[in-house]
Amino acid sequence: MPRPRFQPSEDQRQFVKSLAAFGVLQEQIARRLGIRSLKTLRRHFRKELDWGALEANLNVTKTLYKMATSGEHPGASMFWMKSRCGWNDRPNFNPFPGPPPPFIVGKEEGGPNHDPA
């Protein structure tokens, strides 16, 4: 006798969306729902898997943006500038601004060991 076809409930859809938003691996989500195949999980919950993580990232980004632009959270502003604008804590110091000068070795005439012969 074949196994009964899986029919997801609305509660399961919301649960999968929440777990995806929290970053839980799809293998773990499938195991929690009692689904043996990732293919089955993806077939029935594709939208929830995709949108859960996207909406979580969107919410965190909105919060960070509000914190960074409020002026009350300088750490959030610094994080935003470093991650989005390429800022860093180190000065842009180049100890060699150009190619080094040519290395010239010359022989001096005269000196303490000079033999005029």
Tell me the per-residue pLDDT of 14-47, one tens digit each, with 9 for 90 and over.
999 999 999 999 999 999 999 999 999 999 999 9
Q: Residue 40: which domain range?
A: 10-85
Beta-carbon-side half-sphere exposure of residue 65 (alpha carbons within 13 Å)? 7
Give the integer Cα–Cα distance in Å for 75 and 32: 38
| Residue 116 pLDDT | 60
d(C-alpha 101, C-alpha 103), whole Å: 6
- pTM attached to this predicted model: 0.61
Check residues 55 and 116 and name the one with the higher pLDDT: 55
Q: Residue 70: inside a domain, yes or no? A: yes
Q: What is the chain's mean pLDDT, rounded?
A: 87
Burial of 52 (0-12, 13-18, 19+ CB in 10 A): buried
Q: Is residue 34 domain-resident? A: yes
Domain count of the chain?
Answer: 1
Percent of the chain having pLDDT more than 90?
57
Asked if 66 and 59 touch (Cβ cutoff 8 Å), the reply is no
User: Is 25 inside any structural domain?
Assistant: yes
Residue 112 lies in a domain: no
Does residue 30 form part of some domain? yes
Q: Which helix (H) or strand (E) holds 64?
A: helix 38-70
